[in-house]
Amino acid sequence: MLTNGNILKQKIDALWDKFWSGGISNPLTAIEQMSYLIFLKRLVDNDNTNAAMAKRRNEKFISVFKGNEKCRWSYWSQLPGDQMLRHIRDTVFEFLRNLGSETSTFTQHMQDAYFALPKASLLQEAVNIIEDLHITEQNIDVQGDLYEYLLGQLATAGKNGQFRTPRHIIRMMVKLVDPKIGDRICDPACGTSGFLFNAYMHILEQNTSNDVLEYDEEGMPHHLIGDKITDKKLFKFLKIHALTGYDFDSTMTRIGAMNLMLHGIDNPNIKYTDTLSKSYNDKEMYDIVLANPPFKGSIDETDVNPRFKTKTKKTELLFVELIYDLLVTGGRAAVIVPDGVLFGTSNAHIDIRKILIDKCKLEGIISMPSGVFKPYAGVSTAIVVFQKGGTTDNVWFYDMAGDGFTLDDKRNKSDKNDIPDIVKHWTVSRISDSTKARNGVSDYKKAILVDVNDIKANKYDLSISRYKPVVYEEVVYEKPDLIMEKVLSLEKEITVDINSIKKLLSK
């Protein structure tokens, strides 16, 4: 994270403090305002690169700044503070709102955007930090690192932002479903677009030569050029059509769109839509669905889409059915659900689990410890991985004890990390373990395989505690004679103590 080192981290942390003291206490607003500035810097860099390429090809070039030269970063970043602030607010933002075509998602997201930095000093510090990053086409990883670091501040204690899925959990889920080039990928509750971005990164990683790839200390890949994708149509599909996200928060759709744009997706398909409402009717469109939909919520019964067969207002149940509907036959999904979805006894809970068992190939349930989503919430959750269609013979359960971080509010790094083990057994030995399970053999302690008939016999209960073998530890008791000797010895000591107390009291 942040390849320029701790100095830039310190500058950004100081900038957070400036935002707070400057009156911007909502971290989402702070990230949004920083995103606008980063985008403006990248816009100039892209324009210069396109101009150079057109010159080499002897082609005509029309700058996006034609008629708006004073909206270039190089112009307004040199203005005095107060003048810079007024110029961005009154001139540059108007330029941004009209930058794309009427139908582009960027133009749509920018319609209600506004520049909210209240102080010129704050603007100047933000501009200086972005200048220090030296973001160019040759160093595009730095911009992604900066943005991921900014998003990571939402998880910092004292910065109570939107609920955010930890990046290492997202990356694990992406590896489990293993999206490929040509897949259509969706997140129906996308937030900051973390799942979509990581799916995109995963595909590029699988299609970048090993001698080009570099990994940082967190295992994040860099220099993802996708040089193995030789079909230009497929590469264009990945950039333009492969990723689709929905969210019903307009601020989140802007941040999500910018997150993708800053990672190389020029025109992200991030749409402002409530996917549970009557206004959304997409069906059987996607090969991969990745999601961490809202928990413990309910929606107005009059607004629930009649498409749902499950009779409930609980969002965590409706989203599971929605994801099933969105997948094509053979499509795969990984979704985070609260534990109650796995063992709830209501008709709606059972009906959802019947969809997963009877209409899908339910591949795995990974139970996560309750501290994974701290400091936001301590709710216990699980990852459900399934394929639409097919047959469920048995289900692979894994009881995750740690995710590489402490399970308290601080979430410091920890050596207890089951994620590498989960990915290893999922991709290497889960199928062979399934064969052993059919023969009543299972020698792996952290994971178990359960026959689907046992699950059906238990009202489709999918909680690992229902099936995890109870391990009894042998307790060795002392011999009765030795116990009696200890009792008699204690009685003598007590008698002596009582007599000593009586003597003291009689004086």
pLDDT, one tens digit per residue, over 212-231 is: 888 877 777 877 888 899 89
DSSP state of 218: T
pLDDT score for 158: 36
> Is pLDDT at 260 greater than 70 in this prediction?
yes
Query: What's at 400, amino acid-wise?
Result: M
Residue ranges of alpha helices (H) inside 243-314 are 250-261
pLDDT in tens, 354-376: 999 999 999 999 999 888 877 66
Is 223 part of any domain?
no
Buried b (16+ CB within 10 A) or exposed e, 72-109: bbebbbebeeeebbebbeeebbebbbebbeeeebbebb
> 138, 161, 184 — which closes off a domain?
161
pLDDT score for 273: 92
Cα 55 to Cα 46: distance, rounded to the nearest angstrom: 14
> 161, 193, 212 — which closes off a domain?
161
Structure tokens at 239: 């950039």
Is 420 part of any domain?
no
Is 318 part of any domain?
no
Domain range for 94? 1-161
What distance, in Å, lies between the first and last C-alpha atoms of the chain?
Answer: 76
Query: What's at 215, amino acid-wise?
Result: Y
pLDDT band at 161 (very low <50, low <70, confident <90, very high): very low
DSSP lists the bridge partners of residue 18 as none
Q: What distances in angstroms separate CA 150 from CA 28, 159, 161, 287, 389, one per listed residue?
A: 10, 11, 12, 30, 40
pLDDT score for 5: 52
Is 407 part of any domain?
no
State the chain's mean pLDDT as an integer. 82
pLDDT score for 379: 78
pLDDT score for 376: 60
> Is pLDDT at 440 greater than 50 in this prediction?
no
DSSP state of 203: H
Say if CB 262 and CB 197 are below 8 A apart. Answer: no
Q: How many domains does the chain have?
A: 2
Q: What distances in angstroms separate CA 132 from CA 5, 122, 143, 408, one per listed residue?
A: 12, 16, 11, 35
> Is pLDDT at 502 greater than 60 in this prediction?
yes
For strands 327-338 and 269-272, give the pairing: unpaired
Mean pLDDT to the nearest integer, 329-348? 95
Residue with more model confidence, 207 or 47: 207
pLDDT score for 17: 79
**Positions of E strands within 280-326:** 286-291
Residue 219 has φ and ψ, to the nearest 5°, of: 85, 10
DSSP state of 225: -
Q: Which run of H or of E encompasses 448?
A: strand 447-451
Is 97 part of any domain?
yes
> 161, 178, 210 — which closes off a domain?
161
> Is pLDDT at 435 greater than 80 in this prediction?
no
Name the percent of the chain lying above pLDDT 70. Answer: 81
Say if CB 118 and CB 135 are below 8 A apart. Answer: no
DSSP code string of 462-500: --HHHHSPPPPPP-PPPPHHHHHHHHHHHHHHHHHHHHH
CATH of the domain at 95: 1.20.1260.30
Residue ranges of alpha helices (H) inside 327-414 are 340-343, 347-358
Rg of the chain (C-alpha set): 28
pLDDT score for 433: 56
pLDDT band at 51 (very low <50, low <70, confident <90, very high): confident
Structure tokens at 52: 């150079």
Is 392 part of any domain?
no
Query: What's at 436, amino acid-wise?
Result: K
Mean pLDDT to the nearest integer, 328-357? 96
**Least confident stretch, 269-278, 329-338, 366-375, 491-500:** 491-500
Structure tokens at 26: 């909502």
- The CA-based angle 274-381-472, given to 5 degrees, is 160
pLDDT band at 122 (very low <50, low <70, confident <90, very high): confident
Pick from 400, 135, 157, 406: nearest CA to 261: 135
Mean pLDDT to the nearest integer, 242-270? 83
Say if CB 320 and CB 344 are below 8 A apart. Answer: no
Cα 180 to Cα 207: distance, rounded to the nearest angstrom: 9
Is 144 part of any domain?
yes
pLDDT score for 409: 74
pLDDT score for 362: 97
Residue with more model confidence, 431 or 424: 424
> Is pLDDT at 199 greater than 90 in this prediction?
yes
> Is pLDDT at 317 greater than 50 in this prediction?
yes
Is 56 part of any domain?
yes
Cα 348 to Cα 373: distance, rounded to the nearest angstrom: 26
pLDDT band at 394 (very low <50, low <70, confident <90, very high): very high
3-state secondary structure of 60: coil
Overall size of the chain counted in residues: 507
Most confident of the following: 84-93, 220-229, 426-435? 84-93
pLDDT score for 201: 92
Judged on CB neighbours under 10 Å (0-12, 13-18, 19+), 115 is middle
